[in-house]
Amino acid sequence: MQNTPNKYLHWQRQQQDFITCLKSQPLVVVLRVDPNSWENSLFLNQIFSLFTQLNTAGVKHIEIGWSPHPEWIYLMREVQRNFKGISLGAASITCSLALKSVAQLGLSYAMSPFWNPILQKEAIDLNQLLVPGVFSPKEVQEAIRLGCKLIKLFPASKLGKDYLHQLKSMMNPLPFVIAAGGLEVSDLDSWIQEGYGAIVLGRGIIKNGRIDLTLQNWLQSKKDQSQT
């Protein structure tokens, strides 16, 4: 697959735009759909309730995990139509089929849990920003060589908060680094202070259909700080 110079430049701009957006709020919330939920008539209302709560609390970036279910495209389009102020992305992009679904929707970003240079090049060809998941220094180096300006360290909880310093000792400067996998609200400030550009939070932030109060408090504290 051969990416044209114009598509490569467009990809670079996409990356920079997303980095700028993340700097304004270094948080991405990921929601995943239970495979058994698609047949639930109340499912869409439940998703909309979560988006309304997150939007009201001030969350700017929300991802929904990709699903091969035919209703996934419909769900994403409904969210796009009803929550225009949210930067909507797709998580768990692991194959060409998933990538093409995202590109069809025109989402501003998507994320993969692992490094796949072939999938990355396909994303560039489709004009779709795909943030790669990386684990080892070798994968980080390969991502840099391809031109990735932002990467996702995954799973962050297994790698540890100090992993970023270990990478910097081997290669510097690093791309904009997103930490994802097994992190909690209590990790936000300490990981960001260590130099991570943004944090992805998923399981645990929704309890009994409501946003965890600690996340609401964190968002409110950041809002208060910006107003002082």
Q: DSSP strand E in 23-92: where?
A: 27-31, 61-65, 87-91
Structural domains of the chain, ranges and CATH numbers in brackets: 5-227 (3.20.20.70)
27 burial (CB, 10 Å; 0-12 / 13-18 / 19+) is: buried
The token duo for 18 is 């997303």
For position 6, what pLDDT does the model report? 93
pLDDT by residue for the chain (228 residues), tens digit each? Answer: 567 889 999 999 999 999 999 999 999 999 998 888 888 888 899 999 999 999 999 999 999 999 999 999 999 999 999 999 999 999 999 999 999 999 999 999 999 999 999 999 999 999 999 999 999 999 999 999 999 999 999 999 999 999 999 999 999 899 999 999 999 999 999 999 999 999 999 978 988 889 999 999 999 998 888 876
20 burial (CB, 10 Å; 0-12 / 13-18 / 19+) is: exposed
Closest CA to 212 of 201, 196, 224: 201
- Which residues on adjacent β-strands are paired with residue 31? 64
Helix (H, G, I), strand (E, B) or coil at 13: helix
Give the whole-angstrom CA distance, residue 132 versus residue 146.
11
Give the whole-angstrom CA distance, residue 186 versus residue 174.
25
